[in-house]
Structure 1
Amino acid sequence: MSEVSGLVWGLTIVGIVGLLAFDFFFHVRKAHVPTLAEAARWSAFYVGIAIVFGIGVLVLGGSQMGSEYFAGYVTEKALSVDNLFVFLIIMASFRVPREDQQKVLLFGIVFALIARTGFIFAGAALISIFSWVFYLFGLILLVTAVNMLKPEDEDASAADNFVIRTAKKVFHTSEHYDGDRLFTTIDGKRALTPMLLVMVAIGGTDILFALDSIPAIFGLTQNVFIVFTATAFSLMGLRQLFFLIDGLLDRLIYLSYGLAAILGFIGVKLVLHALHENNVPFINGGEHVGVVEISTSLSLSVIIGVLTVTVIASLLSPKGRMQNTVNKTHALATAYVGLDSSVDAEERQRVYTELLAQEQVLEGTESRHRESLAEEKGLPELLERAHREHAETAGRA
């Protein structure tokens, strides 16, 4: 199965497209917020499909292909979860209604699959012609690993980035959503809705993500079929996973360190492979360099081990637990200040009561991280605004 037939390629692509179509018509087409049980059920379904497919690769293609698939799948899945952080920031920046977030996420997944497929075939073509590309891929991953250790800058992912500002200047745009429509009519003129703009922002970040993820998986295998399927199945079910671990995303405070370690490890693996296959004239006179190469089984063990330690450390960390409390308070405060003027007084009071209760939980939590995490999220200003708006609303009543 190292040389995959056209029939297998065709059936695989039809299966993936079929799963995406099923996801759209049976889950996303009708706007709704998935329950935790629904998200858990369908997340398990898509992970199960990926595992069954991997077992098929293992049985039909042998242990080498099977190990490469699972190493690639686990790595790409971890990177995809990291991508959810950015999607969360973008959707918060655009204030995407909760019930419409599914459609935005599915668009992001489809666009990511298209973008990464293009990068996969381009990367495979480059590798077949130029062996020095392994040096380039290794360097990209090492630089990415270092950048992951730096403090995050949310500006590049916010709603007010260059692309969005340009779109707002060039095109007639609406400040308000019109359901899940991409276009609306304002004073008789056709206008872009924020839904279209958020999809542009998601699509742009997908292209940037592909620049990191594709070199990473090519560091584990050069089999294009394995690269494509591991990437595709890692993206499947990402929408459901978002709603399943939404409250836990920010608790994974050490995930970036774990991913940095994994990408750095794969970067070193790529450089070693490049030295082993070397034909660059100014390195060892264009001759192969006798270096130790890292096996796929060792790579899989390192990847799973690093991710396990990272997740456990994050969940047990006092800072992670404090982050979760701050996030719940921030979410309720954001929900309150985002209430439309048409919302009845009873509903407004209900949200405000929940906010007060959560604020008491936050204030009663003893943690040296509380103030710094609250400041990072801009929570003090947001709470002040919520209390001020409630006082003004109560004064008008």
Structure 2
Amino acid sequence: MIKIGMKRLAKNPNAARTLPPLPFEQDGLDTARKVVRSWAGYAPTPLCSLSDLAAELDVGAIYFKDESPRFGLGSFKPLGGAFAVSRALSRALTEETGNEDPDLFSDKARAFAAKMTITAATDGNHGRSVAWGARMYGCRCVIYVCASVSQKRRDAIAAYGAEIREVDGSFDDAVRKAGETAASEGWHVIPDTSDGETVVAPRDVTQGYMLVVDEALEQLKGERPITHIFLQAGVGGMASASAARFWQAYGENRPVTVIVEPDQCACWYESLLAGEPVAVTGETDSAMAGLACGEVSLIAWDVLKTGADHMVTLGDEVVEPMMRYLAQKGGDARPVIAGETGISGLAGLVATASNPDARKALGLGPDSRIFVINSEGDTDPEAYCRIVGKSAEEVLSQ
């Protein structure tokens, strides 16, 4: 049986059941469906049942939405970054031509896109998504990274034609640098976080992420409702999008929503307790690299300030045993490849379900039906092989 511990658990004092006005375009989800489903290679990602783990934890069911096959990029991120690139190009073309629904793959659009520069900051997967989207539509792309981003992740971004620029400091410093450069150079910045000033592109990113749960709701038709969701949060884009889509579908009967973070950069834990966004400073690097963020996105805040029920923090020591467990056990129908960030929501479930006090606080029991997202696969293949002892290809061939 897998055994890992948590660091801290708290209840959000401002949690509510009434759906607030969501910070998205009214027709944004329909637009995201139309655009993303039109891309070559689109297919809904698998929804795996982890019945062995559910039995170990004495819960009713665990549904694990596996984003590792998404468009061959290894994570859910294309739904956000690449979608936001399409929206930036579409709006620019509409402003230029007056056409409200331009064909982004026309010769005229590609000639226009070739004059655009798209930029973003990343700790790995978002930059890869933005670069992939920029290449798909024919835009120039510049991606900012901090020093902690591995060379393999940089190479994966550069493979899509992006220029990589390193920034001193943290991920949050890279975000600021990308925004400042875009403003001075006339570039289009695609952040996956919002400081309240840059709103449109991060709103598009978050809107696109809603498709993860949108697909899952279709896959769950005929099943009993989900009772709990465990969502890993860095700046909060995926977590807020997922919580919002379940909230739309379930209304006041929405699932108990648990936010999972590394303990050293738990900006959501601190912010939700304080009732306002709080920046976490100091050493924020984490083995869960996609969550190594010290500041919440204000777009995500609009959802999670009342849409999150509990917050749990984890130490980096949970990463390797969880990755090995999934490589060995997988889901009921297939092996599961999960990276360092990808396992964190599930790790939050394991840590709390194994703790009697936490289990009681969250209402976990034999009737619980839990939804978790595997947000990435082996996005750093060398690290994955070192941790698991096998490559992803070897695990999948088992």
Q: How does the TM-score come out when normalised to structure 1?
A: 0.25
More helix as a share of residues: 1
More strand as a share of residues: 2
Q: How does the TM-score come out when normalised to structure 2?
A: 0.25
